Amino acid sequence: MLSEKTIQTIKSTVPVLEVHGTAITKKFYELLFANHPELLNIFNHANQKQGKQQTALANAVYAAAQHIDKLEAILPVVKQIAHKHRSLGVRAEHYPIVGEHLLAAIQEVLGKAANAEILRAWGEAYNVIADVFISVEADMYKQSQEQYGGWAEFRPFRVARKVKESDVITSFYLVPQDGGAIAAFKPGQYISVNIQIPDDPHTHIRQYSLSDASGKPYYRISVKREDSIQGHPAGKVSVFLHEQVKEGDVLAISAPAGDFTLEQQDAKPVVLISGGVGLTPMISMLNTLAKTDSSRPVTFIHAAQHGDMHAMREHVEELALEHPQLSVYWCYAKPTDRDRVLNSFHKEGLIDFPWLTSVVGTKESSFYFCGPIPFMKAVNEILKEWGVRETNIHYEFFGPASTL
């Protein structure tokens, strides 16, 4: 337990963290990778370059300082991050290294303002928070390894099939190289893929949502090829998977992880809303609902640029024919002439309040959504404006956690 003096000292730094938090975390990563370049095998380099990881860590540190006297308030966030850590292979021995460099970054950025008392308090607080993470993650590793078909860290899987779903999305069907059983998963969870690209000194780990229901003899991921656009470099791993990985190749993957999952015991109608490749966890949820619950009303809404970029459309429409309780809607921002001739979409442009509330039967539904951050912000604002209860709103970020 932290002393009252330590708690008050930490709380006194909240205004400073609000101003300098990202500068501290930027310096932290610079120091960390300079002294421990081996950790570049764990971290996403693209998120580092774009500043996403620095911002996410700054938000986490800020939240910890705000709630240092009631750390149970941030336990849901701890569990969310712990899922990521377990899927990446983060271990207890990494935490002292992180703590050392975080304190060094605080001292370097704040200078004389980071006096001995503040550094002592943050050192003490970090150890308490690290112990929580270590304990939660140890339980997750144990559960992952001991479950039927489970394993710890990474296991080799063979690409049994590679299927092009749209102009930009390709699915990979993965089966265990050892021929053994594979762990069940909850709809909405993801796996980490550990890639060694030829002539690259570092391995690269990426998380991809599982895009099918559990209980199959394979895991399926559906990957969007991230090409260079508007100054952002191409996605190194996604391009490698699309261009270089072929059927028969072997990939190292983690056991399923993640806390963005369908509440299957919930009896309320469910609304699944996706944008772009954000449809992957939604397809997993939809396939699970179609397999296990024939009575629960489901509304499936997918937004894409146009029909050529719309993955798995035929599959979803076939499910709608088989399940009368499933309603399906397509929203195209820039439909092609072919889309117009075929009358293949329900709304042109972006999802908005009048349209969404008209196609969803009731705001007393459970809403799940995923996609690009601007898309998710727009959906979240609509649901808030409609008066949907916060407990009925569920969403997932691809990449470091952010806020809507």
218 annotated ligand-binding residue: no
AA letter at 288: T
Is 338 assigned a ligand-binding role in the annotation?
no
Strand partners, 202: none
Residue 273 DSSP label: E
What is the C-alpha to C-alpha distance for residues 186 and 160, in angstroms, rounded to an integer?
Answer: 22
Say whether 85 counts as a known binding-site residue: yes
- Residue 243 among the catalytic residues: no
Q: Is 206 annotated as a binding residue?
A: yes
Residue 201 assigned to a binding site: no
For residue 277, say whether it is annotated as part of any ligand binding site. Answer: yes
User: Please, what is the angle between helix 4-12 and helix 116-146, to 10°?
Assistant: 100
Tell me if 53 is assigned to a ligand binding site: no
Residue 177 CA, chain-centre distance (Å), reads 26
User: Which residue's structure tokens are 């265990």?
Assistant: 176
Confirm whether residue 361 is marked as ligand binding: no
- Does 278 carry a binding-site annotation? yes
As a whole number of angstroms, the distance between CA 228 and CA 45 comes to 15
Short-list 359, 297, 344, 345, CA closest to 323? 297
Closest CA to 188 of 84, 261, 85: 261
- Catalytic residue (choose from 126, 137, 173, 226): 137
Is 218 one of the catalytic residues?
no
Q: Of 328, 330, 310, give the one whose Cα is nearest residue 319.
A: 328
CB contact set of 45 (below 8 Å; sequence gap of 6+): 202, 204, 236
**Type of residue found at 143:** Q
Determine whether the annotation assigns residue 248 to a binding site. Answer: no
Is 258 labelled as part of a ligand binding site?
no
Q: Is position 398 annotated in a ligand binding site?
A: yes
**Which of 4, 29, 38, 95 is the catalytic position?**
95
Q: Any known ligand binding at 209?
A: yes
Binding residues for FAD, by number, are: 190, 206-209, 397-400
Please give the positions annotated as active site.
95, 137
